[in-house]
Every structure is written in C-alpha cells, then in structure tokens.
Amino acid sequence: MVSDEQRDIDDETRDLMAALLEGVPREREDRHDEQQGRWLLAELLDYHRREQRVVWWSFFDLCGMDHEQLLDEPEAITGLEPVGEPEVVSNQGATAQWFSFPAQDFRLGPGDVTDPATKDGAGEVLEIDAAARRLRLKRTRKLHDAPLPKAIFPFTIYRDHEHRRALRDLARAVLEHGLDGPGPLRAARRLVLGGPARVAGVASGEPLYTGELSDAAMQDVARRLDESQLIIQGPPGSGKTYGGARMIVDLLDRGQRVGITSNSHRAICKLLSEVDEASHHAGVNVRAIKKSSAPEDDYHSTLQADAFENTYDNGAAMNPQLNLIAGTSWLFVRADWQEQPLDYLFVDEAGQVAIANAAAVAGAARNVSCSETPSSSRRYHRPPIPTALATACCSTCLASAAPCGERTACSSSTRIAWPRTSVSSFRTWRTTAASGRPPGRSCAASIPPGSAEAACGSSRSSTMATARARPRRRDGSPTRSTAC
C-alpha cells in the first residue's frame, strides 16, 4: 500500500519531469546542450526507484526458486544444515551457529541475509569457510523462535529518500534559474549541463593552464573555480589522489571548508590519509571529521590524532568549526548543506559514482571536483537499466577514444578534462575553458543503441547494489569474474 506522502512525492516527481521535458526534442541530435541537460535531469529524478525495482525483481525471483534451482544460483547458498549448538555472542542474547552446505557456486560474503522460505531476514553471516563448505550465522533474539534457514541470499534496500529529495530540489532550481544561471545549486546544475570548468580569470576558449599539469597548476585552477564542476582524469598511479590531497590542503590553508565523498569508505579513508600526511608536512591546521557507519569504516590518524575524529551522527558533521568533512553520499544529500554549503566537495573515484548520486551530493557545495580513472567509468553490472541513466558520474562528461582495452584518449599522467553533456556520446579533450572549440585532435566515441555496451546497463556503483564477494565454484575455489 502506497502512503499518501509517497503518492504526493510521486505526483510531484512526475510534474517536475514534465516541466523539465517541456519543449525538449525527442531525439538526441535535435537537442542543444541546455535541452540535453534538462532531459538528463528529468530521467535522473526516477533513477533510484528504477534501481530498487531491479533489486526487488531479483528478490522475488530468488524466493520462488526450489533447492535445485538455488544450487545453480551464485547469489544464494542452499542446503544449509546446522552444525553443533548455537553460542551466545552478545549481551542482548544474539547467538552464532555454524552451518554446513553442499558444493555449489556462490558469491555471497559476510553480511545480512534473507531466508527465501520466509521472505524475511535470516540473520548475519559472520564468516564463510569455502574450503570446508560451512558458514557462521548470527541470529538476534527475535529470530530464536523462527525456523532455521535452509537457504540464504543477501538482500539490502538502502534508504534513498534524501537522494531523491536532493534531485527534486535540483530540478526546481533548474526550472527557476536554468542550468547555468546565477542562483542556488549552481555547481550541481552545471554538473548536469556538462561543459568545461568555469574558472575566474580564464576567458572563453582559453586553456585552464599551460605546460605540465603540476600540483601548483591544479591548486591554482581549483582555488579559482567559479561555482563550477572540475573533472580530473588519469590512469592509476598518475597522481590523482596525491594531487587531489594537496589541492585540498591548499584550500584548507586558505580558509575554505572542504568535503570528501566517494562510494566506499575505503576510498574516502585513502584520500583522508593523503590529506593527513600532506597537511602534517605543510603545517596546515586541519579540523576533520569522518562520518562512518561502523567502527571498521573509521579513519585513525597516526600523525595528527587530535585533528581527525569519527562520528556515527550526521548532525555532528554540520559543526561549522570543522574545515574538512568526509562521508558517503548519505551525508552530503542532507538538506542542511543547502543552508550552509561547503566551499568545495571532492568526489573521489567518481567514475564509479552514478551521475544521479553525483548530482544529488553536488548541492552540498559551491564547487565540485571529480577525479576518476578512465576505465572505471565504463564498468557496468546490471542489464535492465538504460545506458544513458546508468552512466557513472564522469562518463557523463568524459569518454575514451576507443573501445575497452584501447584507451588512446588516456594519457600517462593526470589531466583536467573537457566535459561534454552527451550521455551516449562522450568526448575527452586537452583542457580548455568555457565554450568554444577545444584545441587539438578530437577523441570521440559513441555507444550506439543496442550495442553490447548499451545492453550492459547500470553502473556497478548503484546505491541499490549490494556488495558481492567473488564467485566460487562448487568445490570452493574462486571463479574468474567477467565484465562488460
């Protein structure tokens, strides 16, 4: 049963989509950049609901399988038999018990699981011994009267209400101010629009920098961003994290408030570690907080223990005395940031971030910097979502010049990229600002409808996706993973 509140939200979403698409041609080749940006945002408004549908389809599909079918399903483990007696593992009465299972392929790892027989939670897998074909399952007190599961599979629906609200706020801002006009959420609007970075002191068509892209050049460009997005691209080992950390330290030294976000806490902690080291050596005062979901997500500094703290409370990160705030998208989609936006938000590993989430978090800052590895933005995992809406953040603005494996558009060093709006035809250029034709030879590639890459669908970084362990054969040995 849909609540009245959800029905009102659905009605508002449809109205916003209709308003954004008013006057927008149906065919991509007939749209100019502003119209393409409005089309993209209209489609993004329903992105998270589409992603949830895929998860629910998988859920009911697995719940409808019998034992023999589940044996061939790598998302589940079936044939569970209890081994020994359960042992109490918490003061609240939770117990843990070992279960054996027959040989089967699986990619399930530690985490919360569901019993397909009851369609309800079955507990939490604490560990899996693939060689011995057994797993340890933790069950809370409220599950003690429930039957022991014969099969389990991971199922998680993440709360995305704030992501959806942030996109609706962005849509209203676009309808009132356009994609590039003065007003609130301008960096987020420009991220959806695409196009080059807006940098103070750089005229239309002029290079953002001359010579090599040194740390000093990157810092200079960043500090002169004018309510804009900045895309930084480079292969692994080219210095994106190193240079990005020093950009952040330079901004902190100039009194700016900076945010760091990514899909994973691991990526966030990696960048925090670089900022920690760089600020320590530069003598820059840091007052940082890391929003975590669990103790294993915390960042612990060995150089400046007093400068970095961790919290599990979103509200604690709003302290105006802090100058560096780090967390996943759930922290930065909060409406509070629109009232006291950060000066800069750095999106690390942005090639793995869905453009819907990048646009949602971009409203938390006046300027947004996205860094990515060229190959990471073309990895997909789920067929049902159209390519245009599944594209990762930087892929909306960037492109490789050739199919996977022939990354001729990628250089051996980090560079700032010229973004374009098209979602199905991407281009990467040497750095140039504002409008006007970029210098040098164009490097373009399109993804034709119906092609293999178009069929690949959603970005693997979807907020609805659950983390999967590497698949294993029935004998317990790992299989080789494949990707589009």
Residue 274 predicted with pLDDT over 90: yes
Q: In DSSP terms, which residues pair with 392 in a beta bridge?
A: 354
**For residue range 363-406, what is the model confidence (pLDDT) as tens digits?**
999 999 998 887 554 443 333 333 333 345 554 443 322 222 22
Residue 410 predicted with pLDDT over 70: no
User: Which strand (E) or helix (H) includes residue 359?
Assistant: helix 355-362
**For residue range 308-359, what is the model confidence (pLDDT) as tens digits?**
999 999 999 999 999 999 999 999 999 999 888 999 999 999 988 999 999 9
More confident residue, 274 or 462: 274
Instruction: Spell out the domain ranges in the chain.
Output: 75-154, 161-459
DSSP code per residue over 262-330: -SSHHHHHHHHHHHHHHHHHHT----EEEE-SSGGG----SS-TTTEEEES-GGGGG-TT-SEEE--HH
**For residue range 47-59, what is the model confidence (pLDDT) as tens digits?**
998 888 888 899 9
Please tell me the predicted confidence (pLDDT) of residue 271. 96
From CA 179, how far away is CA 453, in angstroms rounded? 29
- Sheet with 111-115: list strands edge to edge: 77-78, 151-154, 111-115, 120-129, 134-139, 95-100, 81-88
The two three-digit tokens of residue 415, written as one number: 């560079």
From CA 458, how far away is CA 47, in angstroms rounded? 10
**For residue range 193-241, what is the model confidence (pLDDT) as tens digits?**
988 889 998 887 788 877 777 888 889 999 999 999 998 888 888 888 9
Q: What is the mean pLDDT of residues 154-176?
A: 93
From CA 264, how far away is CA 466, in angstroms rounded? 12
> Which class in CATH covers the domain with range 161-459?
alpha beta
From CA 331, how far away is CA 308, in angstroms rounded? 17
Residues 394 and 230: beta-carbon distance below 8 Å: no
Question: What pTM, to 2 d.p., does this model score?
Answer: 0.74
Cβ partners under 8 Å of residue 172, min gap 6: 16
Please tell me the predicted confidence (pLDDT) of residue 452. 31
Please tell me the predicted confidence (pLDDT) of residue 214. 82
Helix (H, G, I), strand (E, B) or coil at 232: strand
Please tell me the predicted confidence (pLDDT) of residue 457. 33
